[in-house]
Structure 1
Amino acid sequence: MKQHSKTFRAGRVLAALALGLTAAAGARAADPVVLKVAHFLPATSSAQINLIQPWCDRIAQESGQRMVCQIYPAMQLGGTPAQLFDQAKDGVADIVWTVPTYAAGRFVKSEVFELPWIAVKAEAGSQALWEYVHKFALDEFKGVHPIFMHLHDGALFHFSGKHPRTLEDLKGLKIRAATRSNARTIEALGAVPVQMPLPAVPDALSKGVVDGVTVPWESAPAIKLAEIASYHFDVPEGAPRLSNTIFLFGMNQARYDSLPPELKKVIDDNSGLKASAWAGRVGFDEVIPKFKAQAKAAGNQFYDMPDAEYRRFVEATRGVSQEWIAAVDARGGKGAELLAVARNMVKSHASGR
């Protein structure tokens, strides 16, 4: 009888252990895929609120919560904004939202969209960027799977204490530049470029390290633009912008490849040309009125240069595009052809063709 009791108790222990292991395995199977998403702006930035978080919400919903994001804003995974592309490539982050050209010289063919006077609206420019990169420059993004790509709404000048209206008024002013191409444009206009990532702008402008900055309206809340600047100097309404910056929302290639087909499909359904158009439209074009209104409410001044002055600015910066063409040609490419293609793609998407 004792032997039977011991055997019975042992059986119950083994059964309980087996049940526990089964439950644990089931729990592990039910654990969602967690994607580490890193970027360089605050959690309160327009980019996180209007782009990154909505995208993450969609993939969570469409995957039935089997795939979710953990967002790390403001470089919380360490490093600098210029290192974000490599953080995705090396697997430090699963996904990054970044300006790849913060790493100067690595995305030369893609830099065509950062030349002056390329695009008017972010939506059309973003579609053109996606199409162009996938036809001519995807090799520059090896190791990272692009989810969507976009331009911003176009940079303009913002000053504190200065009120330039002409090309001559810019001479000698220290102006923040976002990227190498942007710096060349500012230099061609007679100003002194000071290249720095966006998070450094508030301190630099408020302390007089720079006289002005070039940023799009979308960046206004992230750097408290309405408070640190008092004068906004722009091109004529509807004209191609002073400069654009390219952005990438991209995923570690190995991480993407490792996903099961049904989760990979969720990523794919929220990627590509349409996602790029959405990013340009919702993240940038549609926020301009709100952020301009905030600057007006703060009592700031606005000045759009007349058409004649705009033509002078365009003429002064022709050498920037020629320098890019020469750099592409030196690498065995056809710079003039690629520039023409990029411009035509922007026009085509802007017209809805």
Structure 2
Amino acid sequence: MSLKKTFMATMAATATLATTVQAETTLKISHYTPALHGIQTDFIEPWTEQVTECTGGEVQFEIFAAGSQLGNVARQQEQVMAGVVDIAHGLHGIPRGRFPRTSLIDMPFLTNDAGAASQTLWDLLPTHLAEEYKGLKVLALHAHNSGLLHTNAKKVETMEDMDGLRIRTPSPAVSQMLSTLGADPQGLPPSEVYESLQRGVIDGTVFPWDPVNSFGLNEVLNYHLDLRAYTVSFFYVMNQRSYDNLSEEAQACVDQASGADLVAKFGDWWDAWDAPGRQDAIDAGHEITELSEDERSRWREALQPMMDGYLQSVKDGGVDNAAEIYQAMQDKIAEYEAAQQD
């Protein structure tokens, strides 16, 4: 081969290599749960593998879990908005006040099923919730199964038993619920609950069974009241610029792995994630109590003014159609729960 041909071939190979390298994109994903939690092992990791395979390796991922420099639950939304990370999974209620429309799903006694709540959020996103996600590509919205009240020193069975208890709370709606029932809500990220219980800073927490297991809380708890009174919602979102910078083919792969099909998996996932926490409490000899129907009726009645007031506060905060959104959530959840019973 002549020197000229050799030079041309080398240049072509170099250009091809440069194009290939340039086409590869590594996206950062952050979330606030431990790396061994199902959020990462069952949800995020398989999602990244699906996208990477679909793109033929064009899109790769780096995951930052709890304990990492990007794993702070209070910073997920701001990090993804600023482009510090490309994708984030976080709680709508932390920090408070950033997702007032979506967080209406946290209202007491609205639902006790992760599947129905998650599908309701996804259905209402384009019509009622989209304004809260400007600058973001929403990949999924979801909620957990109904939360319980977990305490270390005092068993709770009635509203009166709640009086003065310092209870960790995950969201404004749940905080108002606890206050109305006589408790003293304490805003804490999940990662701080164990130490706060151990040191006596709080008397208990509201959680579904899953984080009780993943954060090892059964070691510092003794009593569990099955409230079936609230849920908490989560976002899985991507910086819009990060999405727009992908090739059309890669965008299609992200879309294919996300949306309704992804949201539909959370009901079964939460059932599976909750089971070990409950079994661990049973094995430890803890007392698990179910809120009686008579007591549940008392709680509902006591909480009605709080719910009316919360809706008004959301409206006063600029969400003029808060009551309409709440009614739409009620209707959708009823529809999904009825379908589950058929």
Give the 3-state SS of the residue equivalent to 2:197 in structure 1: helix
Whether 2:75 is the aligned partner of 1:83: answer yes
* Alpha-carbon shift at residue 155 of structure 1 (Å): 1.2
Residues 46, 219 of structure 1: 8 Å contact kept = no
CA distance in 1, matches of 2:190, 2:77: 16
Residues 92, 103 of structure 2: 8 Å contact kept = no
* Alpha-carbon shift at residue 28 of structure 1 (Å): 1.0
Gaps of 5+ in 2: none
Cα offsets for 1:99-130 (capped at 9, x unmatched): 12212122111121011111121011100011
Q: Which residue of 1 aligns with 2:179?
A: 187
CA distance in 2, matches of 1:129, 1:298: 36
1:14-29 mapped onto 2 (5 Å cutoff): 14=7, 18=11, 21-22=14-15, 24-29=17-22
* Alpha-carbon shift at residue 324 of structure 1 (Å): 2.3
Residues 46, 222 of structure 1: 8 Å contact kept = no
Change over 3 Å in CA distance of 1:19–1:270 after alignment to 2: closer
- How many equivalent pairs are there? 339
Q: TM-score, normalised by structure 2?
A: 0.92
2:204 to 208, 212, 215: 212
Gaps of 5+ in 1: 1-7, 236-240
Change over 3 Å in CA distance of 1:263–1:193 after alignment to 2: same
CA distance in 2, matches of 1:93, 1:266: 19
Whether 2:59 is the aligned partner of 1:67: answer yes
CA distance in 1, matches of 2:76, 2:40: 16
Whether 2:103 is the aligned partner of 1:111: answer yes
* Alpha-carbon shift at residue 17 of structure 1 (Å): 5.2
* Alpha-carbon shift at residue 207 of structure 1 (Å): 1.2
Residues 112, 231 of structure 2: 8 Å contact kept = no
Q: Which residue of 2 aligns with 1:134?
A: 126
CA distance in 1, matches of 2:212, 2:314: 33
Q: Which residue of 2 aligns with 1:271?
A: 258
Q: TM-score, normalised by structure 1?
A: 0.89
Whether 2:276 is the aligned partner of 1:290: answer yes
Structure with max Cα Rg: 1
Cα offsets for 1:189-222 (capped at 9, x unmatched): 1010001111111111111110000011121332
Whether 2:34 is the aligned partner of 1:34: answer no
Q: Which residue of 1 aligns with 2:244?
A: 257
Give the 3-state SS of the residue equivalent to 2:26 in structure 1: strand
1:305-324 mapped onto 2 (5 Å cutoff): 305-324=291-310
Whether 2:107 is the aligned partner of 1:120: answer no
* Alpha-carbon shift at residue 11 of structure 1 (Å): 4.9
Cα offsets for 1:22-60 (capped at 9, x unmatched): 35325415x632111001121122321222122122222
Residues 30, 70 of structure 2: 8 Å contact kept = no
Q: Which residue of 1 aligns with 2:44?
A: 52
Residues 153, 218 of structure 1: 8 Å contact kept = no
CA distance in 2, matches of 1:63, 1:20: 22
Give the 3-state SS of the residue equivalent to 2:93 in structure 1: helix
In percent, how many aligned pairs have the same letter? 26
Give the 3-state SS of the residue equivalent to 1:352 in structure 2: helix
* Alpha-carbon shift at residue 227 of structure 1 (Å): 1.7
CA distance in 2, matches of 1:139, 1:337: 15
Which moved further from structure 2: 302-311 or 322-331? 322-331
CA distance in 2, matches of 1:175, 1:297: 24
